[in-house]
Amino acid sequence: MKANKKHKDSVFSTLFNNPDVLRELYSAVEGIPVPPDMPIDINTLTNVLLKGKINDVSFTIDNRLVVLIEHQSSISENLPLRLLEYIGKVYGKIIPSEKHFQRKLEKIPKPEFIVLYNGKEAFQDHKELRLSDAFMDVHGLKRTESFEPPLELIVNVYNINQGHNPDMLKKCAVLHGYSVLISKIWEYRKRKLPLDESLKLAIKYCVENNILRDFLKKHGSEVYSMLYGEYRVEDEIAVVAREAREDGFAEGHAEGHEEGSEESKLTIARNALAEGLTPDIVQKITGLDLETIKNL
Q: How far is CA 165 from the centre of its chain?
A: 18
Range name among 4-18, 30-44, 77-91, 129-143 with the lowest pLDDT average: 4-18
Contact at 8 Å (CB) between 85 and 283?
no
Mean pLDDT in residue range 138-153: 82
192: in domain: yes
pLDDT in tens, 176-217: 999 999 999 999 999 999 999 999 999 999 999 999 999 999
3: in domain: no
Percent helix, percent strand, percent coil in the chain, to nearest 5: 50, 15, 35
Mean pLDDT in residue range 230-251: 60
2: in domain: no
Q: Above 90 in pLDDT, residue 173?
A: yes
In this prediction, residue 10 carries a pLDDT of: 85
Total domains present in the chain = 1
Q: Above 50 in pLDDT, residue 257?
A: no
Cβ neighbours of 233 (radius 10 Å): 24
143: in domain: yes
Mean pLDDT in residue range 87-110: 95
Range name among 103-117, 149-163, 248-262 with the lowest pLDDT average: 248-262
Q: How far is CA 50 from the centre of its chain?
A: 18
Choice between 108 and 243, residue whose per-residue pLDDT is larger: 108
- Identify which of 225, 293, 220 has the alpha carbon closest to the alpha carbon of residue 7: 225
4: in domain: no
What range defines the domain where residue 129 resides?
Answer: 11-294
> Which is it for the CA torsion 270, 276, 279, 284, positive or negative?
negative
SS (H, E, C) 203-223: HHHHHHCCCCHHHHHHHHHHH
147: in domain: yes
158: in domain: yes
Tell me how many helices (H) and strands (E) the chain has.
10, 8
Q: Above 60 in pLDDT, residue 291?
A: yes
Q: How confident is the model at residue 253 (pLDDT cuts 50, 70, 90)?
A: very low
In this prediction, residue 87 carries a pLDDT of: 97
Q: How confident is the model at residue 3 (pLDDT cuts 50, 70, 90)?
A: very low
116: in domain: yes
Mean pLDDT in residue range 61-81: 94
Helix boundaries (H) for 16-126: 19-30, 79-94
In this prediction, residue 260 carries a pLDDT of: 47
Mean pLDDT in residue range 28-51: 87
Euclidean distance between the first and the last CA atom of the chain, given in angstroms as a whole number = 22
Q: How confident is the model at residue 232 (pLDDT cuts 50, 70, 90)?
A: confident
Mean pLDDT in residue range 232-259: 55
